[in-house]
Amino acid sequence: MGKKIRILMIDDEEDFTEPMSFWLKSQDKDVRTVTSGKAGLEEIAKDPPDVVLLDIFMPGMNGVDTLKEIRKINSDIPIIMLTSAVVENVQEAYSMAEITKLKVSGFFKKKDSFEELANLLEITLRLHKGLEGGE
């Protein structure tokens, strides 16, 4: 099967998305990157990817709001939240409850390794085939 996995990364930090995207491409994935929630919504509406990597902490429309909007137009595309793992971050902690309700496939801590990212992607896509994503 030659079809490449198509990933959409929504994150305003270009210095982060560049190495991420480069590495994912080196793993034979197709990667699109946008820097705002709004742009992400447009992409998903126009041409949905196989999986979305969504940053929580963004200016403008933040990750949680973007998630809500995505779920309005697409209720089962797998979404992995990207977090800087500041657990004590009140804003993020607050969002955890809302996020869990909105069907998220998993969380990737930005400081974790590429291998862990690959793992998470594999599990997510495998689970998603024929199942609803998230708990």
Partner 1 sequence: MNQIVIIVVSVTAIVSVAIALVLVRIAKINASLDLRRTAAAVGKEKDAADLSAIEKEISEAVSSTKDKKELAKKLGETFGKEIKRHAEAVEAETSRKYEKVIEERKASEQIVARRYKKVLQDKKQTEAIMQSVAEGLVVVDKKGKVLLMNPAAEKILDTKREDKINKSLLADLKDGQLVSLAKEGRKKDAGPKTIEFKSNQDETQKVIRSSSAVVQNENGQTVGMVSVLTDITKQRELDKMKANFVNTVTHEFRTPIVAMQKSILVMLSGATGRINDAQEKFLSIAKRNLERLNLLIDDLLNLSKLEERKMSLTLSNCSLEEVINDVSETVNTWAESKAIFIKKNLQPDLPKPYADPNRIAQVMNNLLSNAIKFTPQKGTITVEAKAIEKGKMVQVSVADSGIGMEKGDEEKIFDKFFQIGERTTTNVTGTGLGLPITKEIVEMHNGEIWVESVKGQGSTFIFTLPVID
- Contacting positions for partner 1 (CB under 8 A): 13, 15-16, 18-20, 22-23, 26, 57, 84-86, 88-91, 110-111, 113-114
CB of 84 to partner 1, least distance (A): 5
Residue found under tokens 């509406």: 45
Burial 25-52 (b: 16+ CB within 10 A, else e): eeeebebbbbbbbebbbebbeeeebbbb
Specify the residue, 15 or 135, whose C-beta has the smaller distance to partner 1: 15
Q: How far is the CB of 97 from partner 1 (least distance, A)?
A: 17
Nearest to partner 1 of 75, 114 (CB atom): 114
- Please tell me whether residue 132 adopts helix, strand or coil conformation: coil
- Smaller CB distance to partner 1: residue 63 or 133? 63
State the Cα–Cα distance between residues 51 and 8, nearest whole angstrom: 6
Minimum Å distance from CB 121 to partner 1?
Answer: 15
For residue 34, give the H/E element and its range: strand 29-34
Contact between 129 and 103 under an 8 Å Cβ cutoff? The reply is no
Crossing angle for the helix pair 63-73 and 37-46, nearest 10 degrees?
20
Q: Which is nearer to partner 1, 17 or 70 (CB)?
A: 17
Least CB distance from residue 72 to partner 1, whole Å?
Answer: 27
